[in-house]
Amino acid sequence: MEFSAEMIAGLLGGSIVGDKNATVHTVSSIEGGKKGALTYLSNPKYEQYIYTTEASIVLVGNDFEPKQEVAATLIKLPDVGAAVLKLLEMYNAMKPQKKGISKMASISEKATVAEDCYVGDFTVIEAGAVIEAGAKIYPQVYVGDGVKIGAGTTLYPGVKIYEGCRVGANCIIHAGAVIGADGFGFLPKPDGTFDKIPQLGNVIIEDNVEIGANTCIDRAKTDSTIIRKGVKLDNLIQIGHNVEVGENTVSSAQTGIAGSSKVGQNCFLGGQVGIADHVTIGNRVMIGSQSGLDKYVPDGETRLGSPALPGMTFHRSFAVFKNLPDLQKRVAALEKEIKK
């Protein structure tokens, strides 16, 4: 479908600078924009591209004043970020929706699948599983015995959900994620071998959670591993058994949280964060990328580095650390003078 600048401005409540009849049929980045594309400028450091982009329409802030000629039609808005989000949501909603239950899916007679669900080819849904209204189960998904999938939830290709796990409403689980595999539990024996500790619990994922591709969330040894509502997990994250992640916490890729640790609400974990077992992280905690934590962190704190330190302590320590080569030379020179 094509949209004119006039239509977009009317929808978003913006004002047009340029050709109101300019049309677009796709979206792009400002640096990669081509004719027929809609793009946006929300970060001033990308302003240089607005003068060279081939995009037909660019969304800009009300306060934007070009320093040279702009070929594209501009739509001025009070909040570019909010406007872009609204358009992307509309564009996504207009895409064709998957429907129907594939004849090549294997669905147990003892499973319950709502009539308006989508179930793709070669999906397996075991006995006692419940798939609620509006769920979308893409090809090659495995849903184990007694699993419950909430209304409106989407499981992308290759997701595996082991027996007894619970996934809430309006969740998104991306391709290759594994929910409910055994926690890493082994008991050392005197002869140096190990006995496997049975993992008898499950995983509970509450509503409005998004889980990235190839992320693994282990089932609890007993009770449940819990991902609270609104949590957003990036790709390639490992969450150990009996972990609890609090509401609306966000984690970037390659984070690892060891067994029985608790992460509070509204926390932010940067990429490659490592949290040791049995550690408690408070609410509203910010953890920088590649930080390693093995101790309790109170509410509202920031941690950086490995082992992680409070924000200002880390910066002061790093200021000293980066000067160590020069300090070493100065000490060596002083020692030489003392010997003389």
- Residue intervals of the chain classified under CATH 2.160.10.10 are 106-314
Angle (CA) 264-268-271 rounded to 5° is 125
Token digits of residue 15: 């004002």
User: Of 197, 158, 192, 148, whose CA–CA distance to 178 is shortest?
Assistant: 158
pLDDT range class, residue 324, cuts 50, 70, 90: confident
In contact, 70 and 58? CB cutoff 8 Å:
yes
For residues 199 and 308, the model is more confident at 199
The DSSP symbol for 224 reads E
At 269 the pLDDT is 98
For residues 248 and 185, what is the distance between their CA atoms, to the nearest angstrom?
Answer: 28
Establish whether 315 is a catalytic residue: no
For residues 242 and 320, the model is more confident at 242
Asked whether the predicted pLDDT for residue 1 surpasses 80, the reply is no
At 194 the pLDDT is 97
- Residue intervals of the chain classified under CATH 3.40.1390.10 are 3-94
At 17 the pLDDT is 96
Which tens digit of pLDDT belongs to each residue from 156-212?
Answer: 999 999 999 999 999 999 999 999 999 999 999 999 999 999 999 999 999 999 999
At 316 the pLDDT is 84
Q: What is the mean pLDDT of residues 79-91?
A: 89
Those residues with Cβ within 8 angstroms of residue 149's Cβ, 6 or more apart along the chain or in another chain: 129, 130, 131, 132, 135, 137, 143, 155, 161, 167
What is the distance, to the nearest Å, from the Cα of residue 81 to the centroid of all Cα atoms in its chain? 19
**Which CATH number among 3.40.1390.10, 1.20.140.10, 3.40.190.10, 3.30.70.100 corresponds to the domain 3-94?**
3.40.1390.10
In contact, 161 and 144? CB cutoff 8 Å:
yes
The DSSP symbol for 186 reads E
pLDDT range class, residue 271, cuts 50, 70, 90: very high
CATH class of 106-314: mainly beta
For residues 75 and 89, what is the distance between their CA atoms, to the nearest angstrom?
Answer: 19
User: Of 141, 142, 180, whose CA–CA distance to 164 is shortest?
Assistant: 180
Token digits of residue 311: 């924000």
The DSSP symbol for 48 reads G
Asked whether the predicted pLDDT for residue 116 surpasses 90, the reply is yes
Q: Which of 174, 241, 278, 315 is catalytic?
A: 241
The number of CA neighbours under 13 Å toward the Cβ of 163 is 6
At 314 the pLDDT is 84
3-state secondary structure 60-71: EECCCCCCCCCC
Token digits of residue 223: 């009770």
Asked whether the predicted pLDDT for residue 327 surpasses 90, the reply is no
Instruction: Please provide the average confidence, as pLDDT, over all residues in the chain.
Output: 95
- In the chain, % of residues over pLDDT 70: 100
At 322 the pLDDT is 82
For residues 311 and 316, what is the distance between their CA atoms, to the nearest angstrom?
Answer: 9
